[in-house]
Every structure is written in structure tokens, then in C-alpha cells.
Amino acid sequence: MAPINFLVIGLGNPILGDDGVGWIIAQEVEKHICSLRNDIEFDYLSLGGLSLMERLINYKRVIITDSVTSGEIPEGSVITFTLNNMTDLSYGHTTAAHDTSLKTALMAGRKLGAPLPSDNDIQIVAIEIRKVMEIHEGLTPRISAAVPLAVKHVLENFEND
Amino acid sequence: MTRITIDPITRLEGHGKIEIFLNDEGDVANTYFQIPELRGFERFVVGRPIEEMALLTNRICGVCPEAHHMAAAKAADAVYKVNVPRTGKMLRELLYMAFYATDHTTHFYALAGPDFIVGPDAPVAERNILGVIHKVGLEIGGKVIQMRKYGHTVVEKIGGRKVHPCTSIPGGLTKGITEEDRKEIEDMGRWAIEFAQFSLKAFNDIVLGNKTYLDLILGDIYTHHTYYMGMVDENNKTNFYDGKVRVVGPDGKELVKYAPEEYTENITERVEPWTYLKFPYLKKVGWKGFVDGADSGVYCATPLSRLNAADGLATPRAQEEYDKMYSTLGGKPVHQRLVTHWARLIELLYAAERWVELATDTEITSPNFHAIPTEKPTEGVGIVEAPRGTLTHHYWTDERGVVTQANLIVGTTNNYAPISMSIHKAASSLIKKGTVVNEGLLNMVEMAFRAYDPCFGCATHSLPGQMPLEVTIHNSDGEIVKVMKQFVD
């Protein structure tokens, strides 16, 4: 069996409506690729910061599928970027009473010697959402319609690899 | 009137905002801690099977899913009136102790750490998790990561998944553990005891050994005299997983000790027009406003409250530390809120010791971890001590076990009134006419609520995670005259 070097994480909360889109994207990718590749691991998480960083230990490349709330692009837009291109608004600080940002957590993890992928090897594929505080299952139509494009972006990562 | 706003906006953990209003003289006129809480969860679960609650509710919060899992599981046991076999109870408690050790470790090193290890008025660029690592050294930072890894591993072995366990069902669990698992869990627990003792020593050296910090902790700024709540066993010793809820007064005397199903006779809630979150208070004492004293129904449910409400801890090393804390501070109860950090570390030691006790019980690997429910489902209440306060789940079902109504009082909600009072007192004490309101000073106001380890979690993780603190100062006309942000642009 090939070593597991790739990790795809569906991130979000599946009971917060569109916030759960990261899970849906990852599930679709897994359906497409599980019969073709055995060197990719999938996981579905509702975590951030330190706990998310700990999950990335020992992987060379990671793709995180998620929602994003920039408020600067139209709802349903698909964006792809690597973590090193993301501004760490909370550089060094806690983002909540119990946690910090993923970038800061990664800095701390690397400082402590944890084998973590570089920020350049952590790819984010996300869909811009608006409704993030309503408890329900399922996606709104505009977000649901954007899922195939996000899936395509994720799969492109594996085409030349 | 001048208005100061501390806005800990975060997508990771709900929203909250501290507003400080100054009068024309420049003194604090009033403060508000507002929480636009996520709403609708209690309606969302209606129509779903009761056995799903332990899986669904642990998605409410990204910080303490294990606590919701346990409270919901215990409520489901009560709904079916089923007694969980001893091994089932022990396995759940064992998972819970590992979670507690993980959670309390994170709080002390990542959250309280910047305040006490780096310093409350240290430059912003240093008062953070990286600053803590720099100050305590890489070796200790590595131990923190190791502690978290062990905690997650135990949760996964018993709960089936890391962080969001899925094995508790009405009557017990879906799986047990093997002897090989048990041995590994025991070894990790023994390491956790050493780590907890090390952490208490670090607190002793870094915090208690520093007169400035000690004066800050014991000073009047962070002191309130309220009732205290915590779950206890049959010997009135603190218990995180099971028992009765005990409430003691500001004088330390027991007011009431109630079983989970009696919570509505003892706790009721008050609504204020300026916030979504309700203020629970002691029904028998009554609401007298945001005030201290035996006549005020305001109570506190925190690590310090749990120790105040109990007669001790059921493990030897933790009991020793418990005695040391109270003898150092002049007896029970302790009212200085920043002592909560000390209490949290004593609880960390208790959790680690209890972890080993359970892992070495001869019945822990027994296959008798589940009892099949036979009664018709009706209504049930489950209570556990979440790290940040007493957590109550209450469900009503129809005869098929489908939820028809739900009520949740989460850990931090208990502390909403005392948190608000602490913010007001800290702000009033620190901000006076002519005071230059800088980041260090506002951090000391923020410390007043951080001691409670508040959690307004919703487990939403959309990017980008934002910083928790934004300070906006308005002049008497409401115009913004200054904005301060904690992050580095």
C-alpha cells in the first residue's frame, strides 16, 4: 500500500447550514477519487487552531475544504489559496477564549518540533457563504450549486501528482 | 459620555462584546457584556430520536463536545430510566477525565499563560502563545502538546473518535476496551499525573512566587462574594461526571444539594433587554440585580466554585493541593476570582489521578458496559460538570423516544451574571478620570472575564479566524476617536 502523504479535511459544522459545505466538498471528492488513489486520507472535522494543527502532523500535503466569510466576494464564489497567502489576522494571539488561528498554531507546533507541512503545502478550497449562525442541516441553493466547481479545484491538485 | 468597546469578535467561538460607558467625569458609569448567542438548537433537536442527542449536541460547541456528549447521554439514560452498568459508567468517566486534563491544560498554557507567564501588561507582541513557549521553553511546550495528544488518544479509544465521541448510547456504550488499551491508557494517565504536578509547581514558582501577581490575584479588583455551585459525590467530594449539585453561600454553608431532575426547583432564568443570553439565578434566593451577597441569587459555577462547594477531592495528591490552597488563602470559601486558575490546575491533577484510578479498576475491561433499555421513554435530565461550569441537558420525548422538547443550561451561562459583575468591578477599579486607556489596562479588564474560561461556542470554523479583541473608544457624541486592535497588521 502506498504511504499516506495527502490529507483532505472537510472542515465546518454540519448542523450550521452552509458552514457545513466543507464536509460536502470533501465527501464528493472522496467519492470521485477513492477508487483511483489509495494514498489520500480523508477526514471530517469541526475544529480549528490547535486541534486542527495537531491533525496535520506527519502529512506532507493537506487540502482543507471549508467555507469562507470574507464579505468581499459574491456569495457562492469558489476561492483557492495556500495558507501562506492568507493573512493571519490574529498573528500570535488567541482567536477565542480557548484557541488560536491555524497559522499561529502551526507556528507554535513547528517551534516545538512537530513534523508539519509548510504553509505552502496547505491548500484551502473554500466557498464564500453568508449565513453562518443558523442551526439547520443542508445547504442553501446558491452554495449547493458552487460545490461541483470546488470539487473540480480539489481534484486538479491530484491530476499532476 | 465616553464609550469604550471591547469586541472579542471570533468566528471560531461565537461573538461577545464588552462595552464600557464612562460618565462626563471620566469614571465608569456602566458596563455591559453582550452575547448575541446562537439560537435555535433546542428547536432543531425536536423530532429527532433521543439517542441522537449525544451525537448532535457535541456539535454545538467546538470547545467542549465531550461535555455535551456526556450530559446528553446521561439525559438519554434518564429518559429510558435505565441504569448504566458500573463498567459503562467508569468508561464514560475515564474518557471524561482525559478530556478534562486536556481542556484544563490548554486553558492554563494557551489562555491564562499569556497573562501570568508573560505578564498582564507585557507588550501585545509578546503576550501570546508564542510568547509563552519562549518564556517557559521548548521542552515544556512539547509537554503541553504531549498532554493534549494523550487526552485525544483516550477519547478516541473509548469514544470512537477524537474530540467528538460517538459511543455513548442509552444504557452505556457501544464498545469497551481491551487489556492492551487499558494498559496504554494507564501509562498515559501516570504521565498526566506528573504533568499536572509539574504544572502546579510552575504556577507556584511563576505566579505565586511573584509578589506583583499575588497582589493582583488577592486584591479587591477581582473579588466577589456570591454563591458557588459544583457537583459532588455522596461524600461531598467534587465529581465531574456524576452526583448531586451542591450550592454553598458566600459564607461557605450549604444552601441546597439537588439531584439533576430537581434543577427546575432550584434554578430559574432572567432576561435582560440588552443581550440574548439569559441570566440563571438561584430561585430560592431570588434576583436582586448584579450584586454580591447572601441576599443575591447570583451564583458562580467554575473550577474555584466547584472546590468551594465541595468538602474536598477524592484523590490523595489533589486533596493535598486543595488543602494547601485553602490554608494559603485563609480558609473557605475563596472569593478572589483569579484564584480560579489555581483551582483549575488542582482539578487537572484530580482528573489525572482519577484517570489512573479508573484505568486500574479490575472491572474496566469487563464486557458488561451496556444495559438494554426496557422502559418506555418519557423525560430525563443529565448533568455533568463541564470544565467551565455545570452543564444541564433536559429532554422530553414521546413514547417512541422522539424528542418533543429540550432545555439546555450550558456551563458559561451559569456564570453570565458573575462575569458581568467582574467586568464592571475591574473596569470601575482600573479606569478613572484621567486614566490613559491603553491595551495593557484593557487586558486587565479582559482578565476579569477570562478567569471564568468563558465559552460561547458554536463550532463554526469558516475562515478567516479573527482576533478576539477590538477596542473602540467613542467620545460623548458617540464618534469613534480611537480604535485599538490586538493583532499585528
Say which of A67, A92, A98 has its CB closest to residue B130: A92
For the segment B60-86, the average pLDDT, to the nearest whole number, is: 91
User: What pLDDT score was predicted for residue B13?
Assistant: 41
Say which of B41, B462, B466 has its CB closest to residue A132: B462
Least confident of A138-152, B99-113, B391-405: B99-113
Within an 8 Å CB–CB cutoff, is residue B324 touching chain A?
Answer: no
Give the residue with greater pLDDT, B452 vs B261.
B261
Q: Using CA atoms, how far apart are residues B465 and A55, in angstroms rounded to an integer?
A: 18
Within an 8 Å CB–CB cutoff, is residue A80 touching chain B?
Answer: no
Backbone angles phi, psi at B437, to 5 degrees: -80, 95
* Interchain contact, A95 vs B149, CB within 8 Å: no
Give the residue with greater pLDDT, B452 vs B395.
B395
User: What pLDDT score was predicted for residue B8?
Assistant: 35
Give the residue with greater pLDDT, B12 vs A132.
A132
Show Cβ contacts of residue A35 under 8 Å, excluding neighbours closer than 6 positions.
none
Taking the CA of residue B38 and the nearest CA in chain A, the distance in Å comes to: 6
What is the chain A residue with the closest CA to B55?
Answer: A15
What is the chain B residue with the closest CA to A46?
Answer: B459
Q: What is the ipTM of this complex?
A: 0.78
Taking the CA of residue B254 and the nearest CA in chain A, the distance in Å comes to: 32
Within an 8 Å CB–CB cutoff, is residue B131 touching chain A?
Answer: yes
Say which of A92, A98, A132 has its CB closest to residue B128: A92
Give the cell for residue B338. 483569579
Residue B117 DSSP one-character state: I
Longest dimension (CA), chain A: 44
User: What pLDDT score was predicted for residue B278?
Assistant: 82
Q: Hey, which residues 39-78 in chain A have their CB within 8 Å of chain B?
A: 45-52, 54-55, 66-70
Cis peptide leading into B170, omega within 30 of 0? no
How does residue B10 score in pLDDT terms, banded at 50, 70 and 90? very low
* Interchain contact, B488 vs A92, CB within 8 Å: yes
Within an 8 Å CB–CB cutoff, is residue B139 touching chain A?
Answer: no
* Interchain contact, B460 vs A96, CB within 8 Å: no
User: What is the β-pairing status of strands A6-11 and A40-45?
Assistant: parallel
How does residue B281 score in pLDDT terms, banded at 50, 70 and 90? very high
Q: Using CA atoms, how far apart are residues B318 and B345, in angstroms rounded to an integer?
A: 9
For the segment B217-237, the average pLDDT, to the nearest whole number, is: 96
Taking the CA of residue B374 and the nearest CA in chain A, the distance in Å comes to: 31
Q: How many Cβ atoms from other residues are within 10 Å of residue A1's Cβ?
A: 5
Q: Using CA atoms, how far apart are residues B403 and B52, in angstroms rounded to an integer?
A: 10
A-chain residues within 8 Å CB-CB of B148? 50-51, 54
Q: Hey, which residues 27-86 in chain B have their CB within 8 Å of chain A?
A: 38-41, 44, 56, 59, 62-63, 65
3-class secondary structure, B283:
coil
Backbone angles phi, psi at B336, to 5 degrees: -75, 115
Measuring CA to CA, which residue among A60, A48, A64, A51 is closest to residue A10? A64
Give the cell for residue B123. 507588550
Q: What percent of chain B has a predicted confidence (pLDDT) above 70?
A: 87
Give the cell for residue B24. 462626563
Enumerate the H helices of B204-242 as residue ranges: 211-218
A74-125 tens-digit pLDDT: 999 999 989 887 765 554 444 455 567 788 889 888 988 889 999 999 999 9
User: What pLDDT score was predicted for residue B35?
Assistant: 65
Say which of B59, B454, B462 has its CB closest to residue A69: B462
How does residue B4 score in pLDDT terms, banded at 50, 70 and 90? very low
Interface A-B, measured as beta-carbon pairs within 8 A, has a size of 187
3-class secondary structure, B475:
coil
Looking at this protein, which amino acid is placed at residue A100?
A: T
- Whether B465 shows a pLDDT value over 60: the answer reads no
* Interchain contact, B10 vs A96, CB within 8 Å: yes
Say which of A97, A132, A136 has its CB closest to residue B13: A97
* Interchain contact, B38 vs A51, CB within 8 Å: no
* Interchain contact, A95 vs B56, CB within 8 Å: no
User: What pLDDT score was predicted for residue B96?
Assistant: 98
Residue B6 DSSP one-character state: E
B408-437 tens-digit pLDDT: 888 888 998 999 899 889 888 888 777 777
User: What pLDDT score was predicted for residue B488?
Assistant: 29
A-chain residues within 8 Å CB-CB of B111? 94, 97-98
User: What pLDDT score was predicted for residue B39?
Assistant: 58
Cis peptide leading into B454, omega within 30 of 0? no
* Interchain contact, A135 vs B145, CB within 8 Å: no
Give the cell for residue A19. 458552514
B-chain residues within 8 Å CB-CB of A129? 462
For cell 458559561, what's the residue?
B412
Q: Hey, which residues 100-159 in chain A have their CB within 8 Å of chain B?
A: 100-102, 104-105, 107-109, 111-114, 124, 126, 129, 132-136
Q: What percent of chain A has a predicted confidence (pLDDT) above 70?
A: 88
What is the chain A residue with the closest CA to B46?
Answer: A136
Give the cell for residue B191. 504521565
Say which of B103, B461, B463 has its CB closest to residue A13: B461
Q: Using CA atoms, how far apart are residues B296 and B278, in angstroms rounded to an integer?
A: 16
A-chain residues within 8 Å CB-CB of B18? none
DSSP characters over chain A: -----EEEEEES-TTBGGGGHHHHHHHHHHHHHTTT-SSEEEEEE---HHHHHHHTTT-SEEEEEEEE--SSS-TT-EEEEEGGGS--TTTTSEEETTEE-HHHHHHHHHHTT-----GGGEEEEEEE-S--S--BSS--HHHHHHHHHHHHHHHHHHHT-
User: What is the β-pairing status of strands A122-128 and B172-173?
Assistant: unpaired
Taking the CA of residue A124 and the nearest CA in chain B, the distance in Å comes to: 10
Within an 8 Å CB–CB cutoff, is residue B271 touching chain A?
Answer: no
* Interchain contact, B40 vs A134, CB within 8 Å: yes
Q: Using CA atoms, how far apart are residues A125 and A149, in angstroms rounded to an integer?
A: 10
Question: Taking each helix axis from N to C terminus, what angle separates B138-159 and B65-79, rounded to the nearest 10 degrees?
Answer: 20
